[in-house]
Amino acid sequence: MNKAALSPARRRFLATAPCLIVATALPCRSGFARYADSATDRFAPNAFVRIGSDDSVTVISKHIEFGQGAHTGMATLVAEELDADWSTVRVETAPANQTLYAHLLYKWQGTGGSSAMAEAHEQMRRMGAMARWMLVQAAASHWRVPASEIRTYDGALTHAATARHARYGQLAALAAQMPAPKPSALVLKRPDQFRLIGKTSAMLRVDSFAKCSGRALFAIDVREPDMLTVTICKPPRFGGKVKSFDATRAREIPGVVDVRKVDTGVAIYANSTWAAIRGREHLDVQWDESDAQSRDCQAILEHFRQTARGPGAIAAQRGDVRHAFAQADKVIETEYAFPYVAHAPMEPLCGYLFWDGSRVRARYGCQMTTFDQRQLARLFGLPPERIEIETTYAGGSFGRRIDLGNDVLGPDFAADMAAAARGIGPGRGVKLVSTREDDIRGGWYRPMILHRMRAALVNGRVAAWHNTIVGHSFGVDSVLNARLPSGADALMVEGAANMLYDVPNFLCDAHIVQDRIPTSSLRSVASTHTAFAVERFIDEILESLGQDAVEGRLALLQHAPKEAAVLRAVAQAANWRGGTRTRDGRAMGVAVGRAFHTSVAQIAEVSIGEHGAPRVHKVWCAVDCGMAVNPDVIRAQIEGGTGYGLGVALFGQIVLQDGRVVQSNFHDYRVLRHDEMPEVEVIVMPSQAAPTGVGELGVPMIAPAVASALARLGRPRETLQLPLGVAPSALASSSTS
Amino acid sequence: MKSVDASTDTLLFEVNGTPTRSTGDLQTPLLWFLRDDLGLTGTKFGCGIAMCGACTVHLDGIAVRACQLPLAGLAGKSVTTIEGVARTRAGQAVQQAWVQLNVAQCGYCQSGQIMTATALLRENQAPTDADIDAAMNGNVCRCATYRRIKAAIHVAARALSEAGTSE
Amino acid sequence: MTVHIGRLCRIVARVLVVGATLAIALGTALALWPPGDEPAPPVSGAPARIHDPISRGAYLARAADCIACHSAPGGKPLAGGLPFTLPFGTLYSTNITPDKETGIGSWSDDDFVRAVREGVSPQHTLYPAMPYPSYTALARDDVLAIKAYLFSQQPVRAARTPNALAFPFNQRWVLPLWKLAFFRNRRMVIEEAAGVERNRGAYLANALGHCGECHTPRTVGYGLQDARALSGETAQGWRAGNITPDPWTGIGRWSDAQLTAYLSAGHAPGRSSASGPMAEVIEHSLQYLDADDIHALVVYLRSVTPVQTDPRLMVELKPQGATRSYDLLPARDTDLRTNSGARLFSSDCAGCHAWNGNGRQISYASLTGSSSVNDIYGRNVVQVILHGTRIRVGEAGAVMPGFANRYSDAEVVALTRFVLAHFGDKEGVVSEADVRGQRSDK
């Protein structure tokens, strides 16, 4: 390796040569013309870090940023080992490339399961360490001093003895020439050396300024030359098909360019968003509903009830449940029903796609990159490598942006984008937009679920626990297929099948009832319902045994020390005194559990307001998620997840009448507002274990905690079904029309 | 009696201090003119029926929902969007407080939250939590950053009062 | 659309027994009463500037607003099928396109005139949901102009939806008896002394626009109380207000500009916005009238006998709550934590309406000065909260969504009471039972 000092001319040549090479290698076809790597991006030691001569540190994140802080998390890990100046760090989401950017646990590229930190923490640290190592080598070479004497700090290298100093940007070009070390051989920092990881006072998120100044680019903000903006008209009932359509009035709307039947509906092509929306409003479509879903959700629930009577596929069992029930002193039985719930992310689904016949470039908030890439490849008849996906920021997902590629339940957004492009033909970029009505009525809900619970009490102890689950499965027939050998769907039973309480005889069985209603994963997946079922049931059992809700749980968590610890922590923080109603009309409810390897416990303090509306004043939450990389992000995720879960618990329901979705927008799909958000106190359990996840962990426990508090406030058990804040009279009376 | 051919006309108004004209359909909501015609994509679309606040801008200083404001209502008026609000002291204080407290998660609603909060601070320099609820309940945040928003408004209000009166 | 709820139920039985005897006696006398002279232009007819006969017919059809009742949502215009949901069943409007089998294509001129002015079609007597008690005042030439316009439209094959009425209301032979008691086959009487403009206004309001069918209180037998004409009535949940010139409870203190703006575009600055059925009237009918005809209407309305109705519904132009509120903040004493109506307003309503009642984006959404928020029974407020309202005038439009499938009855009551208090200084008299009843009044 050339260790001689570089002459200025040679340095300049070396500086420019790499970017010349880089620039000419880029495709320059229109539609693919993109922001070329500028001359500043000179040092790219691996697929995850780039350092420019302007000191900028660009972290390539495998994970989409949709609010959960993944960009900040990935960047923190890199910046820590790199000793970067945090103010110079920016993050891009990685392009679609499974080889380079696969999730290390799942093996495909994508984000979900609150697993970004868990899967990538060591990898990202090593990628940062690699870059630092090469910078140090460059400084050692340039200054001709031993590498071991060089210190790195805050984006700069120093050699004390010779008073040499350089910012990373100054040595970036030289570092690019250093031999790359083996990442696995690098020595990472010890926790006591951390400057960024675990920093307790808030480290600024990398995306805050952009998001607070209107600069952050979401899919809906994409503007490409010559693009057409598209809306697709979908059937009012799931399973309906286009029979015929009359576009006369639609074509009269100024800005509407064309109206065509496409693979997934009837598409309006326009040269502005407003024209695309208005054009669709003036489109008359006749639907063939012979194969469409036309049931009320009440009928579907009844069907679940019938199904629950018989034995389901066994998800987990131990002991002899039948024998235990036969010997029981007392049997407690109940059922919990869970409505369809819409994710309703703030940004309705949107995406840009350009197809020129031989390749595709898509720009959208893509969450399951490998699967979307394969699906688009199949739809366009191209090899996956010809599908480029640039992932933008996304305005929330909560699971909605997971495209399941479920042929049985029907096309989702990737297929819609492909349909829009194929409908107009190659060579024209299309930006598919959807409205809030599309979002609320378009399906892919958290499925309707029924839990039947039975417990056998013997001598004041829970001797047996039988939980039957009935519901739609979105996992089967999809990319997330998680069938257990018995036939049960892991994505439906998690949290219930692996319930943590010490009960000697246990059975969890499940029935999959298929339907045409497309369903999908909602933030925390099965825990959106299993946590409520388990935690409400244990609460009811302990109540009937006259035991304290916290002490009684602790007695049954002997083999779950982490859950016991978070439960104790939250009980202490909330000053738990049984949770019973205080003089000022408040009561507390508690819930504890585990999801995505993270243990979480919550206590909610609740009162009842006007018209019987629950009012949640404060929530305490203790979470054990291993090493806290970004404590403030953890706090934010727990706060936000609690708010999201509370909104679902109080108001979330999608009602179908005669196969049509009743709700359509925020006036009738009620969401949590400013004044309904409780104060959330977060206790992050100290831990040096590898980080697990938090993105979804605020959600599962709030519903059972609030319901248990309401029970202590005297609300009858029959009224403690979800959603908790909706008066039955509203929908009942409207259905008479 | 309606005027049939008055639906497209040249309209003159101001956006972030820049004189602007529109010759398109006067019934186009300001939201889409800002986003698609002017390329000011900071103002967001969340519902289209003024129920979520993501599209909030200022019209002559008043917080309005751009999704329900036809261009026809703009003649001679001045529009401020998220791209321009930081030029005012109140807007800058709000933005800084937002960044300082890591308010944003997905960030999609925050343009609207910031615009409403800035207008609130002009109306009331020291809003209570109850005032904030009353003024901002129309701004939805699906990531539930509500409590941080409240805290940030208090921080911004304090910063403005320490520095002098807000604009 | 204008069948009065409730009273018919009690009264029809009485009419059948007693009315039959009286009616035969009365009817004989009245049948011999002459219908009067045909009105002539410029009192009747379309404006002189319109020459083409079909266009004249179109103008008159607009003024008579045939399309509003004879078109169903999702159906073709004028092809009928609009349901009128009544306590004793449902009536459906008929197909008045020139289709020969399912419409009026085979009707002669006399058939049409008789149907419109006397409520008798070639098949049977019509229910007075068809406002022939008002249309009877029309000039024959005008009725025929409308017929010519209808016959120039596309024939639409749309079979008649049979009425679904309970006994005895499905017995059409009752209707001639009703007519004998409550109907006069009579052309509009021209009062020469009142002047052409006032008479033109009367013709537009009574014969064509049939305003009284909604705005005039009904008798127990579903007749119109002529002595209290235009002083207000409630039908299918909607309150049609007092439009007599009474200064306290009518429109006496509205300016000409306000009346003109309301009639031609559905919103009077500083006063009411047309909602529900009146929004439809503006949209389908009044927005198409010439400025001169609007002016004639205003002149006429100012000339009718002022009738004072319930003074508790007097409009408060400076309500305490709204006038002390700002754009984003309500008046100081508005506490969202204890006032659930205010709380709902903050999240669901303030975005369009604003705490100060000014209308945040468009003046149509302003509430201060509106007669609806000054109605202590909150009838129209409950209606729009439940069912929403929409209007389209020219290219401009406004939509308010309905919250029926989201709010409980108690929430509607709370929100209505807040709106009446904050924007009208009124103590609302609204119960959950009232709201429940109005849920089916769409």
Domain at B24, CATH number: 3.10.20.30
Q: Which chains does chain A touch, 3 or more C-beta pairs < 8 A?
A: B, C
* H-helix or E-strand spanning residue A78: helix A70-82
Instruction: Find the CATH number of the domain harbouring C333.
Output: 1.10.760.10
Examine residue C222 and state whether it is found in any structural domain, yes or no: no
Flag if A733 and C409 touch (Cβ within 8 Å): yes
pLDDT digits (tens, 9 = 90+) for A619-654: 999 999 999 999 999 999 999 999 999 999 999 999
Q: Are A159 and A149 in contact (CB under 8 A)?
A: yes
Whether residue B110 sits in one domain with residue B77: no
A8-211 against A219-290+349-434: fold identical: yes
**pLDDT for A146 beyond 50:** yes
Instruction: Find the CATH number of the domain harbouring B139.
Output: 1.10.150.120
**pLDDT for C181 beyond 90:** no
Q: Which of C153, C186, C219 is the last residue of a domain?
A: C186
Q: Which chains does chain C touch, 3 or more C-beta pairs < 8 A?
A: A, B
Q: Which of B27, B52, B81 is the last residue of a domain?
A: B81
- Give how many domains chain B has, as a whole number: 2
Q: Which of C135, C154, C186 is the last residue of a domain?
A: C186
Least Cα separation, residue C327 to chain B (angstroms): 7
Mean pLDDT of C48-58: 96
Residue type, B138: G
Domain hosting B55: range is 4-81
* Cβ neighbours for A391, distance < 8 A, ≥ 6 positions apart: A64, A93, A94, A95, A364, A365, A366, A369
Residue A174 touches chain B, beta carbons under 8 Å: no
Q: Which of B81, B105, B130 is the last residue of a domain?
A: B81
Examine residue C65 and state whether it is found in any structural domain, yes or no: yes
Residue C361 touches chain B, beta carbons under 8 Å: yes
Whether residue C324 sits in one domain with residue C178: no
pLDDT digits (tens, 9 = 90+) for B73-83: 999 999 999 99
Mean pLDDT of C396-409: 95
Residue A344 touches chain B, beta carbons under 8 Å: yes
| pLDDT at residue number A507 | 98
Domain hosting C140: range is 7-186
Interface test with B, best of A209, A212, A226 (most B CBs within 10 A): A212
- Highest CATH level, class, for A297-340+445-734: alpha beta
| Residue position matching structure tokens 């939450």 | A621
Q: Which of A265, A340, A266 is nearest to A300 (CA)?
A: A340
Q: Which CATH number applies to A219-290+349-434?
A: 3.30.365.10
Flag if A730 and C411 touch (Cβ within 8 Å): yes
* Facing residue for C351 by CB, picked from B4, B50, B62: B50
Whether residue B152 sits in one domain with residue B114: yes
Distance of alpha carbon A634 from alpha carbon A116, whole angstroms: 13
HEC assignment per residue over A106-126: CCCCCCCCCCHHHHHHHHHHH
Whether residue B52 sits in one domain with residue B95: no
**pLDDT for A578 beyond 60:** yes
Mean pLDDT of A288-315: 96
| pLDDT at residue number C3 | 52
Q: Are B50 and B57 in contact (CB under 8 A)?
A: no
Residue C346 touches chain A, beta carbons under 8 Å: yes
Distance of alpha carbon C416 from alpha carbon C341, whole angstroms: 7
Mean pLDDT of A579-590: 96
* Cβ neighbours for A659, distance < 8 A, ≥ 6 positions apart: A237, A238, A289, A292, A293, A294, A295, A296
Distance of alpha carbon A93 from alpha carbon A714, whole angstroms: 50
Give me chain C's average pLDDT, please: 92
Centroid of chain to Cα A267: 29
Residue C333 touches chain B, beta carbons under 8 Å: no
- Please report which residue ranges of A425-526 form alpha helices under DSSP H: 436-441, 490-493
Whether residue B117 sits in one domain with residue B72: no
| pLDDT at residue number A733 | 43
Residue B90 touches chain C, beta carbons under 8 Å: no
Mean pLDDT of B84-103: 97
Whether residue B100 sits in one domain with residue B54: no
Centroid of chain to Cα C17: 32
| pLDDT at residue number A32 | 46
Sign of the dihedral defined by the CA atoms of residues A538, A541, A545, A546, in that order: positive
Phi then psi for residue B90, to 5 deg, are -65, -45
Whether residue B98 sits in one domain with residue B73: no
Q: Would you kindly state where each structural domain of chain A is located, as residue ranges? A: 8-211, 219-290+349-434, 297-340+445-734
Q: Which residues of A touch C348 (CB under 8 A)?
A: 667
Flag if C343 and A675 touch (Cβ within 8 Å): yes
| pLDDT at residue number B24 | 85
**pLDDT for A434 beyond 70:** yes
Give me chain A's average pLDDT, please: 93
Flag if C343 and B137 touch (Cβ within 8 Å): yes
Both structure tokens of C342: 């205010």
| Residue position matching structure tokens 């933008």 | A392
Whether residue C178 sits in one domain with residue C326: no
* Facing residue for C351 by CB, picked from B53, B133, B134: B53
- Give how many domains chain C has, as a whole number: 2
**pLDDT for B167 beyond 90:** no
Examine residue C233 and state whether it is found in any structural domain, yes or no: no
Flag if A665 and C410 touch (Cβ within 8 Å): no
Examine residue C67 and state whether it is found in any structural domain, yes or no: yes
Q: Which residues of B touch C50 (CB under 8 A)?
A: none
State the architecture of A8-211 in CATH terms: 2-Layer Sandwich (3.30)
A181: preceding bond cis by omega (within 30 degrees): no
Sign of the dihedral defined by the CA atoms of residues C212, C214, C215, C219, in that order: positive
* Cβ neighbours for A723, distance < 8 A, ≥ 6 positions apart: A339, A648, A649, A650, A651, A652, A653
Flag if C409 and A663 touch (Cβ within 8 Å): no
| Angle of CA points A381, A382, A384, to nearest 5° | 130
| pLDDT at residue number C106 | 96
| pLDDT at residue number A679 | 98
| pLDDT at residue number A726 | 80
Burial of B93 (0-12, 13-18, 19+ CB in 10 A): buried
Least Cα separation, residue C179 to chain B (angstroms): 37
Whether residue B154 sits in one domain with residue B92: yes
**pLDDT for B7 beyond 70:** no
Flag if B99 and A212 touch (Cβ within 8 Å): yes
DSSP secondary structure code for residue C192 in this structure: G
Examine residue C397 and state whether it is found in any structural domain, yes or no: yes
Least Cα separation, residue B82 to chain A (angstroms): 6
| pLDDT at residue number C6 | 64
CA–CA distances in Å: residue A7 to residues A15, A21, A165, A170:
12, 21, 19, 15
Q: Which residues of A touch B113 (CB under 8 A)?
A: none
Distance of alpha carbon A143 from alpha carbon A159, whole angstroms: 9
DSSP structure string for B66-133: GGG-BGGGGTT-EEE-HHHHTTSHHHHHHHHHHHHTT--SS-TTHHHHHHHHHHHHHH-SS--HHHHH
Examine residue C300 and state whether it is found in any structural domain, yes or no: no
Whether residue B61 sits in one domain with residue B16: yes
HEC assignment per residue over A250-309: HHCCCCEEEEEEECCEEEEEECCHHHHHHHHHCCEEEEECCCCCCCCHHHHHHHHHHHHC
Q: Which of B57, B81, B105 is the last residue of a domain?
A: B81
Both structure tokens of C418: 């807040």
Whether residue B62 sits in one domain with residue B14: yes
pLDDT digits (tens, 9 = 90+) for C9-51: 667 667 666 766 665 666 666 666 788 999 999 999 999 999 9
